[in-house]
């Protein structure tokens, strides 16, 4: 398992970023709801303050603001799960989802 994204070409698409993180072991299913990150591995919900962001990839469409997305490779230290969060940002972002992503990005 490779753990250094610098040893790979920079991802050009959201799909490339997700595949890269998956190859690095970010393979637990995590979801965002109710201003929390939910982990399917342990079944718990966590505040953004309990999450560590290891990798961030931002994508901007050449002309369409609707193409803006962010991909985060995260870890939940208390249970050891590592997963990927993908979100739109900009005008198309879900405000509640964006609240969690913004809190994670601090």
pTM for the predicted model, two decimal places: 0.85
Cα(46)–Cα(18) distance, integer angstroms: 22
pLDDT tens track for 66-93? 678 899 999 999 999 999 999 887 777 8
Distance CA 19, CA 78 (A): 25
pLDDT class for 2, splitting at 50, 70, 90?
very low
Contact by Cβ (8 Å): 45, 57: no
pLDDT in tens, 25-82: 999 999 998 989 999 999 999 999 999 999 999 998 775 666 788 999 999 999 999 9
In the 8-state DSSP scheme, what is residue 13?
Answer: S
């Amino acid at each position: 398992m490779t753990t250094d994204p610098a040893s790979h070409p920079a991802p050009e698409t959201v799909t490339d970023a997700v595949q890269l993180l998956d190859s690095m072991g970010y393979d637990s299913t995590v979801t965002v709801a109710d201003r929390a990150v939910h982990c399917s591995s342990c079944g718990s919900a966590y505040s953004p303050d309990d999450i560590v962001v290891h990798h961030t990839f931002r994508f901007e469409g050449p002309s369409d603001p609707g193409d803006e997305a962010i991909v985060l490779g995260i870890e939940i230290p208390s249970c050891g799960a590592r997963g990927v969060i993908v979100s739109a940002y900009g005008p198309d972002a879900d405000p509640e989802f964006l609240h969690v992503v913004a809190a994670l990005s601090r």
